[in-house]
Each structure stands twice: as C-alpha cells, then as structure tokens.
Amino acid sequence: MYELFYTLVSVIIVSLISLVGVIVVFIQENTLKKYLLYLVSFAAGALLGDTFIHLIPQISKNGLSLSSSLYILLGIGIFFVLEKFVHWHHCHECHPASKNKVHPFVYMNLIGDSFHNFLDGMIIMAGYIVSFPVGIATTIAVILHEIPQEIGDFGVMLHGGLSKGRALFLNFVTALTAVLGAIVAFFLVGIYENLSYALISFTIGGFVYIAASDLIPELHKEKGIKKSIAQLLALILGVLVMMAMLLLE
C-alpha cells in the first residue's frame, strides 16, 4: 500500500510543475506576443521529440506489432473526430466576428496533455511497484521531462486565445490527471498487462496529430525568412531537449 502513498505524493509534485508557466505571466504583453510562436514551435518539437525519442522506443522494446499500429491510428482518428466536434461546437457557440474566441487547437492540446499526464502517473506507479529508489528516479525523470513541455503548452494556450490566468488553471487541471493515472495503474496492475502499451500507442497517435495538424500549420502563417528560421531552431530545440532526457533515463 505504501507504493500508492509515495506515488500520489510524487504525482502531485509533478502536477505542480504545470505552474512553471507562471514565469511567462510576468513578461510584458508586447514581448510575449513577439515570442509566442517560438513557444508554439518549441511545443511542436517537444511533442514530436517525445513521440519518436521516448514513446515509440518504449513500445518497441517488445517489438512493434499490428496492434500498436492500430492503437496509433485509433489515436489519430479519435483526435480528428474530437477536433471536428470542437470546430462544430465552436461555430455554433461563438459569433464569427468575435475577437475573444478560443482556437480549437487549445482544447486539442489540453486533451492530448491529459492523456500524456495520465500515462506519467501510470509510469511513476510502475516505478514504485518495482522499488522505492526506482520510483524516485522515475519521478525525477518525469519532472525534468515535463518542464519544457509545460512551458510550451502554456505558450500554445496563450496563442490560442486563453487569458494567462485561465491558461495556468487549465494546465494545472490537466496535470492532475497524473493522479488518476496512478490510481488506475495501482488497481489494474496484474489484471491487464498491456494497458500501458495501448495507452502509449494511443498517445503517439494523438501527439503526432496535434503537432502535425494543429501546431505546425500555425507556424506557416509567419512568412518572414528570419522568423521562420528562428521557429525552426525552436522546434529543433524542443526535439533536442527531449533527446537530452535520455541521459536521465
């Protein structure tokens, strides 16, 4: 039972990392707008880096299979349907000329982040089930893994039309799904050994869809060569940060 207690303490600490975006709140509005797309670029790179550097190798340990491909496609398909629904709901609830409307990719990013944090909670729980030192090491790795992504997510939400306060609140709420993931893993361990495998594959599909279909197209709206190069560098930096996390794992 002690595994559940240590895990809950750990995932709450990890959830608090979502508030790292508060550092952006104190940046002046003009400066913030100037660098928002670079945060979006960084987030896209972090999502793709996390997918191809961490998640895919994770499910490849036991060999890729048809089931993993189907789960990935399921993730892409469900996120497509969710985005269609969000667009439909958005068009019916908001006046087309509204200046305060929130871009649908904000909700997509929140949903994707929720799945990711849910999985983090399951991973931390698995670490503590192995041993206390492994649980601690896993928690530290997840914390350092989350910091750059949470900053990028905060930038995405601001770019999508959310206020600073609401962005921080929603980012924190999605981070709390790690607690749910830990509890689910605790009760399902030994019952369905392929649960995390399915979730990782599903998350891969969701992350690829968000990065390729939602975030990267936003970057194409900037035509300047210097800013485009800067966005590319920010995207590469997001990938490199995810790669640097391998040193901890």
Question: In this predicted structure, what is the pLDDT of residue 146?
Answer: 73
Total Cβ atoms within 10 A of residue 244: 14
Residue 113 neighbours by CB under 8 Å, 6+ apart: 149, 153, 171, 174, 175
Q: What share of the chain has pLDDT > 70, as a percent?
A: 81
> What is the rounded CA–CA span in Å between residue 69 and residue 92?
35
Angle (CA) 16-50-138 rounded to 5° is 50
Measured distance between the N- and C-terminal CA atoms of the chain, rounded to whole angstroms:
26
| Calpha distance 198→72 (Å, rounded) | 9
DSSP 148-211: HHHHHHHHHHHHTT--HHHHHHHHHHHHTHHHHHHHHHHHHTTT-TTHHHHHHHHHHHHHHHII
Cα(52)–Cα(47) distance, integer angstroms:
9
What are the pLDDT digits (tens) for 220-246? 887 889 889 999 999 999 899 888 877
Kindly provide the b/e burial profile for residues 9-34, where b requires at least 16 CB atoms within 10 angstroms of the residue's own CB: ebbeebbebbebbeebeeeeeeebee
Q: Where are the domains of the chain?
A: 2-18+28-91+101-247
Mean pLDDT for the chain? 79
Taking alpha carbons only, the member of 18, 22, 17, 24 closest to residue 38 is 24
For residue 73, what pLDDT is reported?
95
Residue 190 pLDDT: 64
Q: Select the highest-mean-pLDDT range: 46-60, 102-116, 134-148.
A: 46-60
Q: How does pLDDT run across 73-87, given as a tens digit for each residue?
A: 998 998 888 777 655
Q: Which of 41, 65, 86 is CA-nearest to residue 200?
A: 65
Q: At what angle do helices 164-175 and 2-16 cross, to 10 degrees?
A: 160
